[in-house]
Amino acid sequence: MGRRLVLGMLGLGAAGVAFAPYLQRGLESFLGSAADKDPTGLTGLLPNGGGFRYYSVASSVPRRTAENYRLTVDGLVRHPAAYTLADLRSLPQTRVVRDVQCVTGWRVPDTPFEGVKLSHLLDAAGVRPQARAIRFTCFDGTYSESLTLTQARRDDVLVALRMQDKPVSHSHGGPVRLYVAPMYFYKSAKWLSGITVTEAVRPGYWEERGYDVDAWVGRSNGRTDTPTV
Amino acid sequence: MRVRRFSRAERWVHRTTAALMLLCIATAAALYVPQLAELVGRRHLVVTVHQWSGLLLPVPFLLGLASRAFRADLRRLNRFAPYDSRWLRAVRRREHGPQARPAGKFNAGQKIYAAWIAGATLVMLGTGLLMWFTGLTPLVWRTSATFVHDWLSLGVGIVVAGHIAMALADPEARRGMRTGWVERQWSRDHHPRWPADE
C-alpha cells in the first residue's frame, strides 16, 4: 500500500510534466488576473504568480546615490568618460514599453523603461574601428554582461534611469541599470557602473555558467517564450 | 519502563535526511522568496548548495537499507492493516484516544506521510535533474519540469512543516527519535498494536 502511494506520486509527477504546458497556461492567466487584484502580494509568492523577482549574485550590494554614482565609458574609444547621474539625466531620454521575460520563466507585461540610448553614449565616446563588442560591469562587484556592438546599437537598448515610470529602485538595480528589450532579462544588468568597448565578446557572469550569450527571447536558452520585441 | 523504538542507524538516517531536507528548503526559500533573496544574494552559491543537498537527499535512505531495523520499519510502513482505516476515520470524526485510534508501531498518518514524502522527493529529484542537466532531454521538458518542481515544492514545504508541527506537539515522540527509547505508557496510548506489529 505504501509502495503504491510512492508509485502513485511518481505517476502524478510524470503526468504533471506531460501536461504542464496546458496546466501552466491556465494557471498563468488565472494567477495573473488574481495578482492584479491582490493587495497582500501573496500571489506573487506562488509559482508563475506574476511580478518581478529579485536576483543578486553578490552577497550584498552597496547603495549608490546621485552624489557618488559614476558610469564610466572606456576601452576602445577615443573619448573615455565618466557620467554622473545628473549628466545622464540631462541627455535625451527614450521610453520603451515591452514585456520583461526572465529565463527562469516569469514574465511581466508592458513594463516601461526610460533612459539614455546606449548608442548615444557610444557615439559620444567615439568607438574605434576595431571594436566589436561591449562589456558591462556592475558596482555589486560581481556581475558582468556583454553585447555585440551591433546589438548594443539597437534603439531598444537603454541605460535606464527609470522603470515603471519611477526612478529605478535599489532592488531593481538602481540608480542605473542596463535594459536590453529583445533579450532575456539577465542581459539587463542591474547596478550598471562600467561600459567597456572591446575587440571581442567576453561572456558575462551567467554566460560563463552556461547561459546563452545571444539571449534573444524565444530563440535561446532552449526556451520558446513569445518574443518581447 | 522504557521500550526501544529506533536503532542508532535509523536515528542517523532520520537526522541526516532531515538536515539535507531543511537545507533544500532553506536554499529554495532564499532563491524564491523575494525578501529572502534580497537578504541572502549569492545566487550561484545558493543554487549549488540546493542542487547538491537535493541530490544527496536519498543517500541516507539508501545507506540505511543496510540496517535490519530500518528495513523492518520500512516493511511496517508499507503494510496497511484494517485498523489503519479506523484510525483515519477517527481523524475525520475528530475522535481521540487509543480505542478510537488503533495503531501499530506507526499510525496510518505516519504511513501515508512516509510514502508521500518518499514519492514527492523522487519527483523533486527527477524534475530537479531535468532542470539541472538541460542537455540530456528535449528542451520543452525543462519548462514542464520547472512547473512541477515549483508547485510540488509548495506541497513539500507545507507537508514537512506539518510533520515538524506534529513532532513539536509530542515531546515523547521526539525523545524516541532523539534517544531511541520511549515510555511504555506512551507506546500503549499511541501505538497499542505495536507489540503485535513486531
CATH of the domain at B55: 1.20.950.20
How many residue contacts between A and B have a Cβ separation below 8 Å? 118
Task: Name the residue facing B148 among A5, A13, A54 (closest C-beta).
Answer: A13
Q: Does A56 touch chain B (CB under 8 A)?
A: yes
CA distances from A129 to A81, A122, A153, A155 (A): 18, 12, 14, 21
Average pLDDT, chain B: 92
Q: Does A16 touch chain B (CB under 8 A)?
A: yes
Structural domain boundaries enclosing B82: 2-197
Q: Does A9 touch chain B (CB under 8 A)?
A: yes
Q: Does B127 touch chain A (CB under 8 A)?
A: yes
Decide the pairing of beta strands A192-198 and B2-4.
Answer: unpaired
Q: How confident is the model at residue B96 (pLDDT cuts 50, 70, 90)?
A: confident
A19 min Cα distance to partner chain B (Å) = 8
Higher pLDDT, A100 or B37: A100
Instruction: State how far the Cα of A132 lies from the Cα of A120, in Å rounded to an integer.
Output: 17
Considering its fold, how many domains does chain B have in total?
1
Q: Does B171 touch chain A (CB under 8 A)?
A: no
pLDDT tens across the length of chain A (229 residues):
788 999 999 999 999 888 887 787 777 667 666 666 666 666 666 665 556 777 888 878 899 999 999 999 999 999 999 999 999 999 999 999 999 998 877 888 899 999 999 999 999 999 999 999 999 999 998 999 999 999 999 999 999 999 999 999 998 999 999 999 999 999 999 999 999 999 999 999 999 888 999 999 999 988 888 999 8
Q: Does A171 touch chain B (CB under 8 A)?
A: yes
| 8 Å CB contact of B147 and A59 | no
pLDDT for res A77: 97
Q: Does B111 touch chain A (CB under 8 A)?
A: yes
Here the cell at position A113 is: 523603461
Whether the complex's predicted ipTM is more than 0.85 is answered with no
Instruction: Report the topology of domain A71-209.
Output: Sulfite Oxidase; Chain A, domain 2 (3.90.420)
pLDDT for res A41: 63
Q: Which residue of B has its CA nearest to A22?
A: B144
Instruction: State how far the Cα of B19 lies from the Cα of B160, in Å rounded to an integer.
Output: 12
Task: Give the start-to-end residue ranges of the domains of chain A.
Answer: 2-45, 71-209
| 8 Å CB contact of B38 and A209 | no
Helix pair B140-169, B108-132: axis angle to 10 deg: 150
Burial class (CB in 10 A: 0-12, 13-18, 19+), A12: middle
Instruction: State how far the Cα of A196 lies from the Cα of A78, in Å rounded to an integer.
Output: 12
A174 touches A133 (CB < 8 A)? no
A108 touches A50 (CB < 8 A)? yes
Residue B167 sits at φ, ψ, to 5 deg, of -65, -40
- For B:45-64, CB contacts with A below 8 A are none
